[in-house]
């Protein structure tokens, strides 16, 4: 592609940012990067496009602004959520830099789960769940006992961790269930231990069952442009077992989520950026994502993201058959309305490869060496996106989180899966693991069967006008009627 003169500064140093830099490089721009460590993949993109790599603390607005002033980019793209929570986007915009990154008040929909839920109820945004917020854990425990099956979450985004589910008493002896609930509450509080920008608190909401999927979109303050739907897999081990983590792999697109269900998610995102403007007086320009679950209620909002997901960004950046720089610039400058975007007609599977110890023991996961057989990667036509790893003379060394994420594409889901499995074997080292089940025929069949079951229920309910209200009560509290209409 013909080299353009525009400069883009990508903020962040994970696999998501590698994918964003790679996609922007196809637009012909010069890619610059700011990270806490040198990501080998981003470094290659920067070198190939004639940019520069700057080390620095991108969570510090002053350092981010200083780096931007030295580079003078035409566009800044912020990848992770924490810089948004620290006001980095606001400071860059104040200094005149065109920035793709939600303002702090917009990013609150991810940072604060209680704020997001309150906004959804206040503005009657579809996909709502009944919830309550507690600072006193004994009060939370009483509510959990009365509520039945619940999800317990830290009120603040904690890197995708801390979420715990307790099922109704039919699943446990009552005493064992109470002990489990206490343990889960303690886990959630522990997840907030390293954050000083919120008071400790837990959000308890009704638990739902179904198929999870993510709809990511660009927002320009008034409209949204959704990307193909992606399914993330947030549990560390196969069959969806083990602790929650940043995500061990993704599949996209999904033939078991209908166009109508995807459209409902896009409408939730559009209604949300409108609500943010009414509530906080700011235009939401950046990326907004809905982690959804197809449930007996229909498409239901589990959480918002104020950025692309990781690994979900990899799938949509590969599938994008358009100019990423043009799209990002239009979103950041409020000019997305009416734009048509092309996507490849392929299927994609991403496998995250992590060191043993992840996500529970980062010290154990740090310092593991690995190599990549690039001949296999090239032969299979796959892509390797670097995450928490650095390069040295003998290969690569893990930094404690997901080391690399391998993307494979194919004309069919099975072709993409088989290619991803072969490419995953190219990453070799002591103490690495990945999930072989993600994208397999059995995996896709189970998701499709589950989607069909919950779809039959919610459509039956909608046809008969049922499921619009529920009774919410806890000991010592008034009976309230929760109206989902």
Q: What is the pTM of this model?
A: 0.92
What share of the chain in percent tops pLDDT 70?
91
The residues of the chain that CATH labels 3.90.600.10 are: 346-434
Q: Write out pLDDT tens, residues 252-304.
A: 999 999 999 999 999 999 999 999 999 999 999 999 999 999 999 999 999 99
Q: Where in the chain is the domain with CATH 3.40.50.20?
A: 7-101
What's the average model confidence in pLDDT over 117-128?
95
Beta bridge partners of 156: 112
CATH 3.30.470.20 segments of the chain: 209-344
Please state, in angstroms and as integers, the Cα–Cα distance from residue 65 to each residue in 62, 70, 87, 92, following that order. 5, 9, 11, 6
**Residue 197 region by backbone torsions, left for phi larger than 0, else alpha for psi between -120 and 50, else beta:** alpha
Q: Give the mean pLDDT of the chain.
A: 91
What pLDDT sits at residue 337? Answer: 86
Give the containing element (helix H, strand E) for 15.
helix 15-25
Assess contact for 390 and 35: CB atoms under 8 A: no
Least confident stretch, 181-195, 237-251, 386-400: 181-195
Q: How far apart are CA 155 and CA 111, in angstroms?
A: 8
Confidence check: pLDDT of 219 > 90 = yes
From its phi and psi, is residue 420 left (phi > 0), alpha (psi between -120 and 50) or beta? alpha
Question: Is pLDDT above 90 for 12?
Answer: yes
207 sits in which H/E element: none
Q: Does the pLDDT at position 457 exceed 60? A: yes
Looking at residue 482, what is its pLDDT?
Answer: 66
Are 333 and 394 spatial neighbours (Cβ–Cβ below 8 Å)? no
Decide if domain 209-344 falls under CATH 1.20.1290.10.
Answer: no
pLDDT digits 0-9 by tens, 29-87:
999 999 999 999 999 999 999 999 999 999 999 999 999 999 999 999 999 999 999 99
**How far is residue 389's CA from residue 370's CA, in Å, rounded to a whole number?**
10
Cβ-based burial of 306 (10 A; exposed 0-12, middle 13-18, buried ≥19): buried
**pLDDT value for 174:** 57
The residue among 289, 290, 288, 286 whose CA lies nearest residue 330 is: 286
Query: Largest Cα–Cα distance in the chain?
Result: 69
- The share of the chain scoring above pLDDT 90, in percent, equals 75
Query: In this model, does residue 97 exceed pLDDT 60?
Result: yes
Residue 168 in this model has a pLDDT that exceeds 90: no
419 sits in which H/E element: helix 413-424
- Using only C-alpha atoms, the chain has a radius of gyration, in whole angstroms, of 22
Q: For residue 317, what pLDDT band results from cuts at 50, 70 and 90?
A: very high
Q: 346-434 in CATH: which number? A: 3.90.600.10
Q: Which residue has the higher pLDDT, 84 or 189?
A: 84
* Higher pLDDT, residue 21 or 481: 21
Cα 165 off chain centre by: 19
Distance of alpha carbon 365 from alpha carbon 361, whole angstroms: 6
Q: Is the pLDDT of residue 173 over 60?
A: no
Architecture of the structural domain at 7-101: 3-Layer(aba) Sandwich (3.40)
CA dist., res. 65 & res. 72, Å (int)? 10
Question: How many other CB atoms sit within 10 Å of the CB of residue 100?
Answer: 27
Residue 237 pLDDT: 92
Query: Would you state the pLDDT for residue 225?
Result: 97
């Amino acid at each position: 592609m013909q080299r353009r003169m525009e400069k883009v500064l990508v903020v962040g140093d994970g696999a998501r940012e590698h994918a964003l830099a790679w996609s922007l490089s196809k637009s012909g721009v010069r890619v610059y990067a700011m990270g806490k460590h040198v990501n080998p993949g981003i470094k290659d993109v920067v070198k190939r496009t004639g940019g520069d790599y700057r080390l620095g603390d991108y969570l510090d607005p002053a350092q981010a602004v200083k780096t931007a002033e030295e580079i003078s980019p035409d566009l800044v793209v912020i990848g992770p959520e924490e810089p948004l929570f620290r006001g980095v986007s606001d400071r860059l915009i104040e200094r005149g830099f065109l920035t793709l990154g939600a303002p702090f008040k917009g990013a609150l929909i991810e940072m604060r789960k209680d704020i997001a839920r309150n906004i959804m109820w206040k503005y009657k945004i579809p996909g709502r769940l009944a919830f309550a917020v507690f600072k006193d854990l004994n009060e939370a425990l009483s509510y959990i006992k009365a509520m039945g099956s619940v999800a317990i979450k830290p009120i603040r985004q904690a890197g995708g961790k801390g979420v715990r589910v307790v099922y109704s008493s039919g699943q446990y002896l009552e005493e064992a269930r109470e002990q489990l609930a206490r343990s889960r509450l303690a886990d959630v509080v522990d997840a907030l231990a390293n954050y000083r920008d919120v008071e400790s608190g837990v959000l308890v909401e009704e638990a739902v069952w179904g198929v999870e999927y993510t709809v990511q979109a660009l927002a320009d303050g008034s409209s949204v442009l959704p990307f193909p739907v992606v399914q993330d897999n947030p549990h560390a081990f196969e069959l969806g077992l083990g602790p929650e983590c940043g995500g061990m792999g993704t599949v996209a697109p999904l033939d078991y989520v209908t166009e109508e269900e995807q459209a409902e998610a896009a409408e939730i995102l559009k209604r949300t950026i409108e609500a943010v403007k009414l509530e906080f007086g700011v235009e939401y320009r950046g990326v907004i994502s809905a982690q959804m679950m197809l449930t007996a209620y229909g498409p239901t909002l589990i959480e918002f993201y104020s950025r692309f997901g990781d690994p979900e960004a990899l799938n949509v950046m590969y599938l994008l058959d358009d100019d990423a720089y043009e799209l990002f610039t239009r979103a950041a400058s409020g000019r997305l309305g009416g734009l048509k975007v092309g996507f490849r007609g392929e299927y994609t599977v991403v496998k995250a490869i992590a060191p043993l110890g992840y996500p529970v023991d980062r010290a154990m996961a740090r310092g593991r060496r690995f190599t990549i057989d690039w001949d296999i990667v090239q032969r299979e036509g796959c892509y390797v996106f670097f995450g928490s790893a650095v390069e040295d003379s003998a290969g690569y060394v893990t930094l404690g989180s997901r080391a690399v994420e391998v993307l494979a594409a194919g004309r069919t889901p099975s072709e993409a899966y088989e290619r991803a499995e072969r490419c995953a074997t190219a990453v070799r080292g002591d103490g690495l693991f990945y999930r072989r089940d993600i994208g397999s025929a059995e995996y896709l069949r189970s998701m499709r069967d589950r989607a069909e079951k919950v779809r039959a229920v919610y459509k039956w309910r909608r046809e008969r006008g049922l499921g619009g209200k529920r009774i919410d009560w806890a000991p010592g509290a008034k009976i309230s009627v929760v109206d989902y209409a």
